[in-house]
Amino acid sequence: MKIDLKKRRVHSLPVVKQVKKVKGRFGFSLLNFLVMSALFISVGFFVFNIGKSILDSVELYYNNRELEARINDLYYEKEVLLEAQENLLSDAEIELMAKDKLGLIKPGEVVYILENIN
């Protein structure tokens, strides 16, 4: 506070004039409109990213399930092939293939050929 000694009056500090707010068509000030627009865009961006993340997670989940099913199928196929390999490497299977495919016989065996009689 200032005291004017000549007039002996007490003056308060100068009053700051209030700035008249410029209001737009709908009664909002331009600053409020810009803040609300920025907030709306930010929230929209956030919701879009969350939604995209959820969709990506769901897609990855289903891809993972498909791959796990494929892995299980391949393990089963591997077991079947290993069993077939063991059978093919056995002496009895090799002997059977040699007789059927190549017409080979063991020493001392007699081969009989049957003809169709109609």
Q: What integer pLDDT is reported at residue 64 of this predicted model?
A: 96
- Backbone dihedral region of 50: left (phi > 0), alpha (psi from -120 to 50 degrees) or beta? alpha
- 4 domain-assigned: no
- 43 domain-assigned: yes
- 34 domain-assigned: yes
Q: What integer pLDDT is reported at residue 57 of this predicted model?
A: 94
C-alpha 105/C-alpha 7 separation (Å) is: 142
C-alpha 56/C-alpha 63 separation (Å) is: 10
- 108 domain-assigned: no
Task: With beta carbons less than 8 A apart as the criterion, state whether 24 and 30 touch.
Answer: yes
Among 17, 12, 9, residue whose Cα is nearest residue 1 = 12
DSSP H helices in 1-118: 30-89, 91-102
**How many domains is the chain partitioned into structurally?**
1
- 54 domain-assigned: yes
Question: What residues make up the domain containing 48?
Answer: 28-102
- What is this structure's pTM? 0.46
- 66 domain-assigned: yes
Q: What is the pLDDT along the chain (118 residues), one digit of tens a residue?
A: 555 555 555 555 555 555 555 565 666 677 888 888 999 999 999 989 999 999 999 999 999 999 999 999 999 999 999 998 888 888 888 888 888 888 888 888 888 878 877 6
Q: What integer pLDDT is reported at residue 105 of this predicted model?
A: 85
Residue with tokens 């004017």: 4
- 73 domain-assigned: yes
Structure token digits, residue 75: 């393990």
Amino acid at 33: F
